[in-house]
Amino acid sequence: MRTSWMLLAATAFTAALAASPTFAADDECTLTIEGNDQMQFNKEEMTVPASCDSVTVELEHTGEMDKQAMGHNWVLTKTDDYQAVAQEGIQAGLDNDYVPQDDDRVIAHTEVIGGGETTSVEFSTEDLAGEDLTFFCSFPGHPSIMNGTFVIAQE
Ligand code: ZN
pLDDT tens digits for 49-89?
A: 999 999 999 999 999 999 999 999 999 999 999 999 999 99
CA of 13 to the centre of ligand 1 (A): 40
The predicted model scores a pTM of 0.83
CA of 55 to the centre of ligand 1 (A): 21
pLDDT tens-digit map of 134-146 = 999 999 999 999 9
Instruction: Report the C-alpha gap between 42 and 27 in whole angstroms.
Output: 19
CA of 127 to the centre of ligand 1 (A): 27
CA of 6 to the centre of ligand 1 (A): 45
